[in-house]
Chain A
Amino acid sequence: KNEVEQSPQNLTAQEGEFITINCSYSVGISALHWLQQHPGGGIVSLFMLSSGKKKHGRLIATINIQEKHSSLHITASHPRDSAVYICAVRAGGATNKLIFGTGTLLAVQP
């Protein structure tokens, strides 16, 4: 079983729709990262959070530590949001590595 699970694996939306991507993890963590991977392969960090909620523009990330769950929301989606969205966690303790989920492939159609 993967330590980090994302759902859905694939998501198609119409421009303007509100989008939610979910991440569940089975290990204790000290931080959770949301990342975006472009079609060409490059990876960009969107959020790093350990509690509560963060917002950047049209993106909102929330985390519930007790339930071991995080969500990434995109409001007013646009075709340029099409990408793979990846959840990654830093486990508690001395480790500094991130454990990645398999990603959610989002396609926003005009």
Chain B
Amino acid sequence: EPEVTQTPSHQVTQMGQEVILRCVPISNHLYFYWYRQILGQKVEFLVSFYNNEISEKSEIFDDQFSVERPDGSNFTLKIRSTKLEDSAMYFCASSRSYTGAANTGELFFGEGSRLTVL
């Protein structure tokens, strides 16, 4: 069964360092997302990406965050200068169609990348 893969599974970094989280979405999917979950809290939307551009972003997704689909298969989330409060599990997800579409809007999530900022 096709799956979304994420690397690394866990990254430890120092405050102020740049971090890149990588994702390979399912190959025939058109919509890509990043969500995050701070330990003990609910999952929060960060950004959605469609047709090679950001289609929607949350208030959390400020100037220190960026996303890119550099080569048609990878989808990356970059955090330019990490803060302690960026420590969280980051989930990449993809869907064939928009999330309200009856048969093709289902989201497929990766296993997550746990980011620890010291």
Contacts and interface: CB of A to CB of B under 8 A. Distances in A.
Nearest to A51: B102
Contacts, number: 70
B100 A88 contact: no
Given A33-B99, A90-B100, A100 B107 contact: no
B56 A88 contact: no
A55 to B, nearest CB: 16
A97 B107 contact: no
A45 B102 CA distance: 14
Contact of B108 (A31, A45, A96, A102): A45
B12 interface: no
For the residues of B in contact with A, the DSSP-based class is strand
A96 B98 contact: yes
Contact of A95 (B56, B89, B107): B56
Interface residues of A, number: 24
Contacts of A96: 31, 48, 50, 55-56, 98-100
Contacts of B106: 33, 45, 48
Nearest to A30: B100
Contacts of B18: none
8 contacts: A31-B105, A40-B111, A44-B109, A45-B109, A48-B102, A99-B45, A100-B44, A103-B42
Interface of A: 30-31, 33, 35, 40-45, 48, 50, 86, 88, 90, 95-103
